[in-house]
Amino acid sequence: MTKKKTGPKKKTGPKPKYSKADVLQKKIDGYFDSLRINEDMSEPPTVTGLALHLGFTSRQAIMDQQGREDEPGIVDAIKRAKMRIEQAHERRLFGTTPTGSIFALKNFGWKDNQSLEVGSPGGGPLTIRTNALRDDD
């Protein structure tokens, strides 16, 4: 019985759309430039818009590209682009209608926390004492 020689495993899955970080970065810059009509972006950037501009067929495809460990430059370029999108939504929180940006930021991992955390200066339980008068006093 002969043993089969095994070499390095072949990578499976679709071929990456971009193999050079500088080419991808130019396309990303083109996306953001296309949104600017004046100094303020009149159309908000979106992950879906970025994916379409880069020629991907879905948001998941751009996430898959971001997951590539073999090309850190590609990963960093996509992460920076997503941060620019997040920043644009963060800026819109100060406007008169921030609802859409609040929703978008939640998709970026932001949390809408309305709870009040109370604790004592030493970190232990907080005891509240009142000096209320009772009827029988």
Domains of the chain, residue spans: 21-107
Q: Does residue 116 sit in helix, strand or coil? A: coil
pLDDT in tens, 52-91: 999 999 989 998 888 887 888 999 999 999 999 999 999 9
| Distance in angstroms (rounded) separating the CA atoms of residues 5 and 35 | 54
Instruction: Give the model's pLDDT for residue 81.
Output: 96
DSSP label at residue 117: -
Kindly report the number of other CB atoms within 10 A of residue 86's CB atom: 19
> In order along the chain (137 residues), what is the average pLDDT of each group of 10 residues?
58 73 94 75 84 93 86 92 94 88 89 69 69 61
**Structure pTM?**
0.66
Kindly report the number of other CB atoms within 10 A of residue 116's CB atom: 5
Contact 49, 56 (CB under 8 A): no
- Closest of 136, 29, 115, 40 to residue 78, by C-alpha: 29
